[in-house]
Amino acid sequence: MARDRIGLAEILASAEDAAPVRSLDVVARNLRDRFGALSVSFLFVDVVGRRLLRVHDTAPAHEDKRAEQVPLSGSGVYDEVLRSQRLVLAADGAQGQRVLAPVTNRGDVIGVLELFLPQITPDVLEQVEGAAHALA
């Protein structure tokens, strides 16, 4: 657990040192490097809670679509993550396993951290939850 705290401290320090518009990229790069993530996205809930705004990492696969809107109503897995405020695993074929973690602060929903990982262990899940908490 001490290693996890050091990792989170490193992520937060890197994000704080980056320009505000680059801080999400810094966190996404850290998560890609640490877990071998194929993709990292942050989905932020809009002010009225009707949709999510997906902000992709800067991996080459996502360079052409940095932000997209996802309707929250009927979104299935995103709605489940936000309502339960619990991490959810979802298989996603060729992209590996999809991990969705709620980004919340004292019960206030901010959004969802979404990663596509080639391999998942209990330790990885614990670290993803920690990263989501740090983002809040």
Q: What's the pLDDT at 133?
A: 81
Alpha carbon separation from 11 to 2, 17, 28, 32 (Å, rounded): 14, 10, 9, 12
pLDDT tens-digit map of 34-83 = 889 988 988 988 877 778 888 866 555 555 555 678 877 777 888 889 88
Q: What's the pLDDT at 93?
A: 63
Using alpha carbons, select from 104, 99, 114 the residue that is nearest to residue 84. 104
∠ CA 90-37-104, rounded to 5°: 65
Q: CA 97, CA 89: separation in Å to the nearest integer?
A: 7
The distance between the two most distant Cα atoms of the chain, rounded to a whole number of Å, is 39
pLDDT tens-digit map of 4-38 = 555 677 777 777 787 766 777 888 888 888 889 98
> Could you tell me what percentage of the chain is helix, strand and coil, using 3-state DSSP and rounding each to the nearest 5?
45, 30, 25
Using alpha carbons, select from 8, 35, 4 the residue that is nearest to residue 116. 35
pLDDT tens-digit map of 96-106 = 799 999 998 88
Alpha carbon separation from 76 to 40, 86, 126 (Å, rounded): 19, 14, 23
Give me 109's structure tokens: 């929903």
- Return the higher-pLDDT residue of 26 and 92: 26
Mean pLDDT of 111-132: 90
Give the distance, in angstroms, between the CA of residue 101 and the centroid of all CA atoms in the same chain: 6
Q: Is 129 strand, coil or helix?
A: helix
| pTM across the whole model | 0.81
